[in-house]
Structure 1
Amino acid sequence: MSNIGALTAMSRGNKGTGPARALRRADMVPGIIYGDRKEPEMIAVNFKALAREHQSSNFFSKVFTLEINGKKQEVIAKDIQLHPVSDAPLHVDFQRINKDSKVNLFLPVTFINEEKSPAMKRGGALNVIIHSLEITCSPHMIPENLVVDLSGVEMHQSILIEHLKLPQGAQAAHPVRDNVLATIVAPSGTTDEEKTA
């Protein structure tokens, strides 16, 4: 499940390009917090701390405790703008969350136990259709990835959403559109008779 990170921020009142440049010269990244039926709040986050967190693979699926002027609130990163050359953070968007919040996010789908699939043992190939699946879940119950167990999977079998083990309260955001995650196809060069068999 998702772990919790910590970032320190400060409120900022001035908008526009000039004040944003001044913040970046002071090693701060301008940002905004929105959601939870409250007014958006303009903030600035420490550049080094944000850049370090952004390098982690779970940056967009991690809950952050954001301390602003001594007050703490939980947020999740929703967007980050990067410099086109250096990839340095230029602006970050956070969404406020609480114990009742639900968030939509994409998580990678991982396939395990290929060696336990009869089809794969016979040379079948895994044709992945959905590499990242959009799910809806509590921000405090975000898994690191979504795992599909290929044990016992036969040739020409479709791997469906129900093969996934989702955390409690989580569900696919688009179950009809994303119903088929992958298929097992016969190796190339196989004759029609062999495929049927």
Structure 2
Amino acid sequence: MTDINQSKIMILSTHGFEQSELEVPLKKLREAGAEVHVVAPESGEIKGWNDGNWGDAVKVDKTIDEASESDYHALVLPGGQINPDILRTHDNAVAMVRAFGNAGKPIAAICHGPWMLVEADLVTGRDVTSYPSIRTDMENAGGKWSDVDVAVDQAIITSRNPGDLDAFVSKIIEEVEEGKHERDAA
């Protein structure tokens, strides 16, 4: 078990993240006492997407090459269409997600963020949700998709959209406090 006040959480993202899906977990997890780092393929800042236009920039704390799964208790994957579609083309980003999954650490993905779970082969046989437009992708990857505000299966947390952020962040905190989960051998 890990106290949220003693935890380190990585938010893995790049340009085009849904503004609220990065900023709300960042703010609420920090308010809960977690140390949270924004990690991206590039240093500097990444720009959000908000209401059909480019949104605000967020400071990058570390690049993917500077970060290691072993330094963190959990991973958050914000959505937006652009962000995960770009991120899933970066082999080191997919490898990072897979490393968290193989370690049994909580991974939380919202909206289109679950595309990263598909790329890392972490969906098969799990209860999942996502933005409705990627439902077929989730099912084709072997996920058991349902239209719920938050789905949790063996430390994989998924949500549909910004309207689910309160439930999403609450589940992240709960899963971090539970600690690592052993991967099902089946």
Specify if TM > 0.5: no
**TM-score normalized with structure 1 length:** 0.24
**TM-score normalized with structure 2 length:** 0.25
Q: Where is the strand percentage greater, Structure 1 or Structure 2?
A: 1
Q: Where is the helix percentage greater, Structure 1 or Structure 2?
A: 2
Which of structures 1 and 2 has the larger relative contact order (alpha carbons within 8 angstroms, sep 6+)? Answer: 2
Structure showing greater Rg: 1
